[in-house]
């Protein structure tokens, strides 16, 4: 089964091609430069950028996945050439998949409309995917050679943290099989059942990092900039709260942390902030990561998972990856994290792998023209 995946939920225009769960190509056209000067994603700018880039991104993913295609004689006109590449590529694509939500409505719309247009025009099966599920399943992406071979033992706990969500999800094998191929599903453990056991009550952790970066006058997205500065800083420089850490649930809150940070530095002259960027970054990052791990540790103690998974944009951070490895070792539980940094931040490979499992379960869109974006899709 060959899958073409499309992702446009925020500020990256992405496409990927997979052969089953093996990734053949993944293209990410980042819009960071367009949004940086506004200190965050501007929906209208994102929409227009997705619109102008999507065709080229899909065509590039197709070309990179299929060496035969470059032998064709294509038109010299750029637009025509892109259409021809897509037309050739479609000959061996079986399924088209797209992020339905959650995300920015007008950005999602570009990907959803493109996926529908192609699925209808070329008579392909169509699947809509939840972006949060895709972040979790990014852990299962394999390379062309089928590596790494990973197995999730159930129950599993997944921490997924990005600019839009922060969740601890209990993953179990779903024993209810309403669909075909019961034996296969049972053998492969692919009928996942998800229960969100903890989540943020306000800001996402990545959003908090982005907002703190903005308060310090740093660029966007803030997470990677803070990571770099924090390496040389003193994490005990500012005293910041670890909200909800003593409560007996697995929920998070980051807005109080952000407010505390704001009030502590708001009257500082610019030079004082500028002279302490490393210390401020280290203190804020440490408070965010402590919060994330305190609750995850509690959830591990409560649910006793056989596998821990971690993913999402914030997991591109080497410091939290290191701390997670330590926590998993202490809990004597295997830990899975996406094998490549670019599988943590938004990408279409994770949308493709999610669709692979959905396709095995027969979860295709019944009426292609009715598949719609869902900016508030829950998980």
Q: Which is nearer to ligand KG4, 119 or 288 (CB)?
A: 288
Q: How deeply is 71 buried, as exposed, middle or buried, from its count of CB atoms within 10 A (0-12, 13-18, 19+)?
A: exposed
345 binds, among Zn ion, ligand KG4, none (CB under 5 to 8 A by kind): ligand KG4
**CB of residue 311 to Zn ion, shortest distance in Å:** 9
Q: Site for Zn ion (CB under 5 A): how many residues?
A: 2
CA distance linking residue 243 with residue 200, whole number of Å: 11
CA distance linking residue 209 with residue 344, whole number of Å: 16
CA distance linking residue 28 with residue 8, whole number of Å: 10
CA distance linking residue 219 with residue 242, whole number of Å: 25
Residues 317-356, interacting with Zn ion (CB under 5 A): 346
Q: Which is nearer to Zn ion, 46 or 85 (CB)?
A: 46
**CB of residue 6 to Zn ion, shortest distance in Å:** 14
210 binds, among Zn ion, ligand KG4, none (CB under 5 to 8 A by kind): ligand KG4
Cβ atoms of 57 and 14 closer than 8 Å = yes
**CB of residue 350 to Zn ion, shortest distance in Å:** 8
Give the Cα-Cα-Cα angle 190, 137, 365 (nearest 5 degrees).
Answer: 70
Cβ atoms of 12 and 345 closer than 8 Å = yes
H/E stretch holding 128 reads strand 125-130
Residues 74-103, interacting with Zn ion (CB under 5 A): none
Q: Which is nearer to Zn ion, 88 or 162 (CB)?
A: 162
List, in order, residues 6 or more apart from 327 with CB less than 8 Å away: 293, 296, 297, 300
316 binds, among Zn ion, ligand KG4, none (CB under 5 to 8 A by kind): ligand KG4
**CB of residue 289 to ligand KG4, shortest distance in Å:** 9
**CB of residue 52 to ligand KG4, shortest distance in Å:** 21
Q: Which is nearer to Zn ion, 11 or 346 (CB)?
A: 346
**CB of residue 132 to Zn ion, shortest distance in Å:** 8
Q: Which is nearer to ligand KG4, 221 or 233 (CB)?
A: 221
Give the Cα-Cα-Cα angle 219, 199, 326 (nearest 5 degrees).
Answer: 75
Q: Which is nearer to ligand KG4, 89 or 222 (CB)?
A: 222
170 binds, among Zn ion, ligand KG4, none (CB under 5 to 8 A by kind): none
CA distance linking residue 62 with residue 29, whole number of Å: 15
Give the Cα-Cα-Cα angle 18, 56, 3 (nearest 5 degrees).
Answer: 15
Contact pick of 8, 162, 283, 354 for Zn ion (by CB under 5 A) = 162
**CB of residue 341 to ligand KG4, shortest distance in Å:** 8
The arrangement of strands across the sheet holding 22-30 comes to 22-30, 12-19, 2-7, 95-101, 125-130
Q: Which residues bind ligand KG4 (CB under 6 A)?
A: 10, 162-164, 206-207, 209-210, 221-224, 227, 312-314, 316-317, 345-346
| Contact positions vs Zn ion (CB under 5 A) | 162, 346
């Amino acid at each position: 089964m060959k899958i073409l995946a499309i992702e446009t939920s925020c500020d990256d225009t992405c496409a990927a091609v997979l052969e089953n769960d093996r990734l053949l190509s993944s293209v990410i056209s980042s819009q960071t430069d367009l949004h940086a000067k506004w200190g965050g994603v501007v929906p209208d700018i994102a929409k227009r950028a997705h619109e102008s880039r999507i065709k080229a991104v899909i065509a590039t993913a197709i070309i990179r996945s299929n060496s035969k295609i470059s032998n064709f004689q294509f038109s010299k006109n750029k637009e025509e050439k892109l259409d021809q590449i897509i037309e050739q590529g479609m000959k061996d694509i079986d399924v088209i998949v797209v992020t339905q939500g959650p995300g920015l409505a007008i950005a999602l719309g570009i990907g959803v409309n493109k996926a529908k247009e192609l699925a209808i025009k070329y008579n392909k099966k169509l699947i809509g995917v939840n972006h949060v599920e895709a972040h979790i399943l990014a852990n299962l992406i394999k390379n062309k050679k089928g590596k790494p071979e990973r197995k999730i033992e159930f129950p599993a706990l997944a921490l997924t943290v990005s600019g839009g969500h922060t969740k601890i999800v209990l993953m179990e094998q779903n024993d209810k099989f309403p669909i075909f191929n019961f034996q296969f599903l049972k053998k492969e453990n692919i009928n996942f059942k998800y229960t969100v056991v903890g989540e943020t009550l306000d800001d996402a952790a990545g959003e908090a990092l982005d907002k703190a970066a903005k308060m310090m006058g740093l660029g966007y997205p803030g997470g990677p900039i803070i990571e770099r500065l924090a390496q040389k800083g003193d994490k005990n420089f500012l005293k910041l709260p670890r909200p909800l850490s003593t409560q007996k649930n697995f929920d998070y809150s980051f807005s109080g942390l952000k407010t505390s940070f704001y009030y502590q530095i708001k009257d500082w002259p610019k030079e004082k902030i500028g002279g302490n960027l490393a210390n401020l970054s280290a203190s804020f990052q440490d408070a965010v990561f402590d919060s994330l791990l305190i609750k995850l540790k509690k959830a591990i103690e409560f649910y006793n998972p056989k596998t821990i998974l971690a993913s999402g944009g914030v997991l591109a951070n080497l410091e939290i990856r290191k701390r997670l490895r330590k926590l998993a070792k202490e809990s004597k539980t295997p830990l899975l994290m996406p094998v490549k940094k670019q599988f943590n931040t938004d990408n279409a490979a994770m949308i493709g792998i999610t669709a692979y499992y959905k396709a095995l379960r027969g979860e295709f869109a019944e009426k292609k023209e009715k598949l719609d974006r869902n900016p508030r899709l829950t998980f």
